[in-house]
Amino acid sequence: HARGGPRSGSGDGRSRRAAKMAAGGRYFCTAGRGLEPFLAQEVRARLGATEVDRVSGKVFFSTAAGPGELRRLRCGERLFLLLKRRPPLGVSGGKGKVLHEIKNLIIEEPKYWLDVLSAWRNLHGREGKKDNVSPENPSPLKRKAEETNITAKRQKTEQVREMVSEDCQVEAGERCEVPEGKSEQDCWTESTTPLEEPSKSSGEEPVVNEQQSCSFRVSCRCSGAIAKILSSQEVGRAVGVALMKQCGWQADLRDPDLEIFIHINDIHSVVGIPLFRLPLANRDYIKTAGLRSTVAWAMASLAEISAGAFVLDPMCGLGTILLEAAKEWPEACYWGADISDSQLEGADVNIRTAGLMDKIELVKASVKALPLPSESFDVVISDIPFGKKFKITKDIELLPDILQEMERVLCVGGTIVLLLSQDLHKRMDGITKRAENDSANAMSGGTSETAAANAVSVGGNSSSLVNGGEESFLSSRQTCFGSLVPDGVYGVSLGKTDAFIYRYRKISAAGNQ
């Protein structure tokens, strides 16, 4: 039912499907652009998920995991209980026909939505709006007085307004201003639109069940062809009025019991209910946010940190990468270095807030001259500054020196994971291409240039892994990175800009390339 197809079956059939949501449900989780593969892998490993399907910005999956396990997802933004997933709507019939199709997508027999509401509450194991309170915001929501007056409020529907939350779209020539500590996926543009009172002459009487009374809002996002015909506000208003008519639910601006999320684009039409009020990406153990926590977690996962490993972030800033890694892989030993006193102070506060004082050590040092023994770390992982507090031209020129020092402190067989800006990405590609050309020119006729190009591929979003016969070839060549061999590049979004995660392996000791 959630995967799409034409509307069919009886109301009882739909109710049975809704009732099954509480036990072994189908979900979808939003993700930053480029992080979908990491999230898909995480839901399989952490939740034992099946039927995993990823599209741009979302990962769909099925699991029997409970809310506590679902909340532990680290690479996703917001998690939803999936109600429906249908093919994209046709737009050839004009605005009226499209709105009618959208209402058919949402509106079911009243019992369907009552069963959905029960399933959602059962999933949390509690009744009422406190279901939607996360550990980051444990205070009970104060709605007692409002609930006692809900019947009176229904008589004043003309005064009620619906909140339609439209995901911020970043199109050509348009920019989404993202507050510090948030990503583009968290950016919402709110518009308040009065709801029309259900017509008394229509003959439709709302089905009201005091045990299932509910306040709601509709969060809608339209993109692609449909956005040229209808705005998200128009869709949200139409759906909201229809639900008020059919179910007798009360629209609530700021503090609804239930949020209904609708996303309609050229790929699919999706309807879901958020499981948690706050995004999964909000970390209660990080006091001052630096790098987006989902990106930091993805970087740490690429490092393949094992128990007992020594992990270094030589430009740790506020320590976000170290915090994500230490929370997920606590059996390793973590070190952070930075030249800035203010950054180290912020990192220390974050480490204390997270209760990781015994896991992470901090030292003031320059990445160009680390006061650490050679080959003393198994993993080096870092977000190289993007020019916010540093001159980007200086960062670009220093990149080879930074890599050389990272290589020195890394053990043979160790891994380096770096986050680079677009400018640094271009610089890195230039360095790699020169290294490839130098290597090819120095080689005898027995090894072709094609073999060299296949062994070191650093473009795009795909990973080029060292294996089989390529490894012996790579270990015999010298690059301007010394003994570091590219092992994958992944493009990711940071909200207002794009970046690239690079992974390297150290294949031999310094001086033995």
Per-residue pLDDT averaged across 112-134, rounded?
63
The pLDDT confidence band at residue 260, using thresholds 50, 70 and 90, is very high
What is the rounded distance in angstroms from the CA atom of residue 400 to the CA atom of residue 241? 60
The pLDDT confidence band at residue 432, using thresholds 50, 70 and 90, is low
Residue at token pair 């099925």: 62
Note every long-range contact of 64-73, with CB atoms under 8 Å and residues 24 or more positions apart, other chains counting. Answer: 64/23, 64/24, 66/123, 67/123, 67/124, 67/125, 67/275, 67/276, 70/27, 70/275, 71/134, 71/135, 71/276, 71/280, 72/46, 73/29, 73/39, 73/42, 73/43, 73/46, 73/47, 73/280
Per-residue pLDDT averaged across 367-396, rounded?
78
Per-residue pLDDT averaged across 233-245, rounded?
88
The pLDDT assigned to 348 comes to 97
Q: Give the pTM.
A: 0.74
| Maximum mean pLDDT: which of 40-54, 81-95, 186-200 | 40-54
- With CA atoms as reference, report the closest residue to 379 among 341, 338, 417, 422: 417
What rounded mean pLDDT belongs to the chain? Answer: 74
| pLDDT per residue as tens digits for the range 266-295 | 999 999 999 988 899 999 999 998 899 999
Say which range, 251-260, 403-412, 419-428, 440-449, has the weakest mean pLDDT. 440-449
Answer whether residue 339 shows pLDDT above 70: yes
3-state SS, residue 332? coil
Backbone region of residue 308 per phi and psi (left: phi > 0; alpha: psi in -120 to 50; beta: other values): left
- Residue 258 structure tokens: 């239930």
The pLDDT confidence band at residue 428, using thresholds 50, 70 and 90, is confident
What is the rounded distance in angstroms from the CA atom of residue 172 to the CA atom of residue 178? 17
The pLDDT assigned to 102 comes to 86
Answer whether residue 129 shows pLDDT above 90: no
Say which range, 296-305, 360-369, 437-446, 450-459, has the weakest mean pLDDT. 450-459
Higher pLDDT, 413 or 205: 413
Question: What is the distance, to the nearest Å, from the Cα of residue 135 to the centroid of all Cα atoms in its chain?
Answer: 19
The pLDDT assigned to 394 comes to 53
Per-residue pLDDT averaged across 301-328, rounded?
97
Per-residue pLDDT averaged across 234-251, rounded?
87
**% residues pLDDT > 90 (the chain):** 42
**% residues pLDDT > 70 (the chain):** 64
Per-residue pLDDT averaged across 211-219, rounded?
78
Say which range, 134-143, 265-274, 503-512, has the weakest mean pLDDT. 134-143
- Residue 206 structure tokens: 């709302």
Answer whether residue 441 shows pLDDT above 50: yes
What is the rounded distance in angstroms from the CA atom of residue 193 to the CA atom of residue 164? 8
374, 413 Cβ separation under 8 angstroms: no
Per-residue pLDDT averaged across 77-97, rounded?
89
The pLDDT assigned to 143 comes to 39
Say which range, 82-86, 183-187, 234-238, 323-327, has the weakest mean pLDDT. 183-187
Ordered domains of the chain (ranges, CATH): 22-123+213-274 (3.30.2130.30), 293-436+480-506 (3.40.50.150)
The pLDDT assigned to 214 comes to 81
What is the rounded distance in angstroms from the CA atom of residue 304 to the CA atom of residue 291? 20
What is the rounded distance in angstroms from the CA atom of residue 222 to the CA atom of residue 94? 16
Answer whether residue 204 shows pLDDT above 80: no
Answer whether residue 133 shows pLDDT above 80: no
What is the rounded distance in angstroms from the CA atom of residue 356 to the CA atom of residue 137? 22
3-state SS, residue 111? helix
- Would you call 145 exposed, middle or buried from its count of C-beta atoms within 10 A (0-12, 13-18, 19+)? exposed
For residue 132, the tally of other CB atoms under 10 A from its CB is 23
- Residue 1 structure tokens: 């039912």
